[in-house]
Structure 1
Amino acid sequence: MILFPAIDLKSGECVRLKRGEMGEATTYNADPAAQARAFADMGFTWLHMVDLDGAFAGESRNGAAVEAVLAATGDRLKVELGGGIRSMAQIEAWLEKGVTRVILGTAALRNPDLVKDAAGRHPGRIAVGIDARDGKVAVEGWAETSDMEAQDLAKSFEDAGVAAIIYTDIDRDGLLAGINWEATIALAEHVSIPVIASGGLASMADIVRLTMPDAASLEGAITGRALYDGRIDPQAALQLLSTA
């Protein structure tokens, strides 16, 4: 069971949003590379990064910050990156720069063939980000909600070679309201692709919840605000999950 600390980038800084609203951003560190090093020092092995400006713009906007993180952490952290990555050229450029896997969100709905092609060319290095509002997939930095059911989109990538599905309940993201366990576990049981829970992880109680038998279908969970605010003890959390 993997715990992924999150770095969300806005104007080159580490921020956390509430329900994906750019106007509801709290800055936690102006130096993303220093934050990434701190996570590595805590014992984390993976880092979840999102270029928030890029997600809205449809192209990378915080590339310098991402490259600084990659340079600062080297082999200490595996990095998964999403936000504004919409073409094969962008995917391959980030993989060549050292990103372990690229997350495709809007592209998964708008251009599913790109996801399947990329996953075929780069096995194990393409993840699909499914962000849902009331069970429906949201895209373009969560600005638009589609008619597509999250489970249906996930199912469409079965056997495509996708490494993971990162499922975010937008209505809980950044609110410390707890993960939507019912929807997340249901999705994990609906597909064979590993599912990572995102959005709402609030406390050590949620870490304990990840060790329960029905959560064994999950690959892990992403933690943001709760980790930055000190509601989660990283060493205790990692110790608990090491046996899950």
Structure 2
Amino acid sequence: MILYPAIDLKDGNCVRLLRGEMDAATVFGTDPAAQARAFQDAGAEWLHLVDLNGAFAGHPVNGAAVEAILAATSIPAQLGGGIRDMATIGAWIERGLSRVILGTVAVENPALVREAAGAFPGKIAVGIDARKGKVATRGWAEETDVDATDLARQFEDAGVAAIIYTDIDRDGAMGGPNTAATEALARAVSIPVIASGGVSSMEDLAALKATGVIAGAISGRALYDGAIDLGAALAF
């Protein structure tokens, strides 16, 4: 299981939201590139980046911060938030991004996900953000009737590298991830599933790893708050 330290970008800063609310943002740093370097120096194998402004705007907003992170680090990074067309996907991969996360378009334009996965093998992930099992889109502002597992199954044969599953009600709340729902999703599809939302202790990581089927875990606030020691977590 891979641990992905998260850098959520809002107005050029490193922040964490509480349950996806933009007005409930806590700023943890004003130099995202320095934070990315610190994660790399601690031994992180991957970085998870989110353009929060972009998720709402529908196009990249924190591009300069992402480019600074890519310039400052040598480990692979994945990015989500406001990436909704082939031109943007291609541009980010050209700039050195290892994986692009498609969320809203996975619901609204699944054909684009298939096209992108075919054009950029191994570099496209699907972000599935859900409340009570139902997918939310556009920065979690719009709820749908789409079942998270049904959405994931649509991409079984598309060549998608990973699914990032976020339980919105757990995100940033430091209350633990929805391990049961994440495990159920991982068992329902053959695509590797990465857990996100509420991963806030070593016990959480142990529970996710113990399922034997969850490929990764994303953690943000717990690393900034010190609830999880990154070095110890990576060693585990």
TM-score w.r.t. the length of structure 2 is 0.99
User: Alignment RMSD, CA only?
Assistant: 0.6
Q: CA deviation at 1:208?
A: 1.9
- CA–CA distance in 2 between the matches of 1:86 and 1:109? 11
Deviation at 1:218, TM superposition (A): 1.0
* 1:18-57 pair list within 5 angstroms: 18-57=18-57
Q: Which residue of 2 aligns with 1:206?
A: 204
> Given the alignment, which residue of 129, 137, 157 partners 1:159?
157
How many aligned positions are there?
A: 236
| 1:234 Cα deviation after fit | 1.1
Structure 1: unaligned runs, 5 residues or longer: none
Question: 1:204, CA displacement in angstroms?
Answer: 1.3
The alignment partner of 2:187 has SS state of helix
Unpaired runs of 5+ in structure 2? none
Distance in 2 between residues matched to 1:211 and 1:9, nearest whole Å: 27
User: Equivalent residue for 1:134?
Assistant: 132
Task: Indicate yes or no: 2:220 matched with 1:224.
Answer: yes
**1:167-213 CA distances to partner (integer Å, 9 max, x unpaired)?**
0000000001101011000000000000000000111111222331x
Amino acid of the residue matched to residue 31 of structure 2?
A: D
1:65 aligns to 2:61 (yes or no): no
Paired-residue identity, %: 67
1:13 is the counterpart of 2:13:
yes
Query: For residue 178 of structure 1, what is the aligned residue in structure 2?
Result: 176
- Which 4+ stretches in 1 moved above 2 angstroms? none
SS where residue 159 of structure 1 aligns? coil
Counterparts of residues 63-142 of structure 1 (less than 5 Å): 63-73=63-73, 75=74, 77-142=75-140
Paired residues of 2:179 and 2:207 also in contact (CA < 8 A) = no
Report the Cα distance in structure 2 between the residues aligned to 1:239 and 1:210, rounded to whole angstroms. Answer: 15
- Distance, in Å, in 2 between the alignment partners of 1:23 and 1:159 is 38
Instruction: Deviation per CA, 1:28-65: give whole Å up to 9, x if none.
Output: 01000000000001000100000000000000000000
Take 2:151 and 2:227, find their aligned partners in 1: how far apart are those partners? 33
The corresponding residue for 2:191 is 193
**Are 2:13 and 2:27, in contact at CA under 8 Å, matched by a contact in 1?**
yes
Contact 2:186 2:193 in 1 (8 A): yes
